Amino acid sequence: MPDAPAPTGLEVVVCDWAGRAEALAAVRRAVFCAEQGIPEALEWDGADPGAVHVLALTKREPVGTGRLLPTGKIGRLAVLASFRRHGVGSLVLRRLVELARTRGLGSVYLHAQADALGFYAAHGFVAEGPEFDEAGIRHRRMRLAFSAEQRPDPAADGAEDDPIDR
């Protein structure tokens, strides 16, 4: 079934944890904890303050989120059930990939839930290695590599190199 049109008034914003923790947590709690049964202790891993976040809002209400860690790992991509199949997840993912490129990363990777492999593959991600269990759900590592011409030259705009912690 093809995606329906994006909700009216959809806005995708880049934010940090300190400024939007309540909205970001509300979406993740609804999707991962309530819907998928992931224990809160596993959801809150301490990495949020060091990540850049993307928040999808419609009529100023949070409906989707995702984060990018300094290592290039995309994660915690979640969309409220009533907003799925409307392109919200794609918009969030594309914004996270764009952020990684502007930071000069050579690739991004993620741990895709097994039933979402097709979604990520449609965005150019390639599966790596076998499936594994994470929080009681089958996952597979996927990577999207950027070509050299897709990466900005930090020296060209005067930006300093961002350190990568791994």
- Whole-prediction pTM: 0.84
Q: Which of 53, 61, 139, 153 is nearest to 106 (CA)?
A: 153
Extents of the domains making up the chain: 10-157
CA–CA dist 135, 32 (Å, integer): 10
Q: Residue 147, class by beta-carbon neighbours within 10 Å (0-12 exposed, 13-18 middle, 19+ buried)?
A: exposed
> Do the beta carbons of residue 69 and residue 47 sit within 8 Å?
yes
What is 10-157's CATH number, 3.30.470.20, 3.30.565.10, 3.40.630.30, 3.40.50.620? 3.40.630.30
Q: Which of 47, 87, 82, 86 is nearest to 68 (CA)?
A: 47
Report the amino acid identity of residue 85.
R
pLDDT (tens place) for every residue of the chain, 166 residues total: 456 556 678 999 999 999 999 999 999 999 999 999 999 999 999 999 999 999 999 999 999 999 999 999 999 999 999 999 999 999 999 999 999 999 999 999 999 999 999 999 999 999 999 999 999 999 999 999 997 554 444 443 333 333 322 2
Neighbours of 87 (CB within 10 A): 19
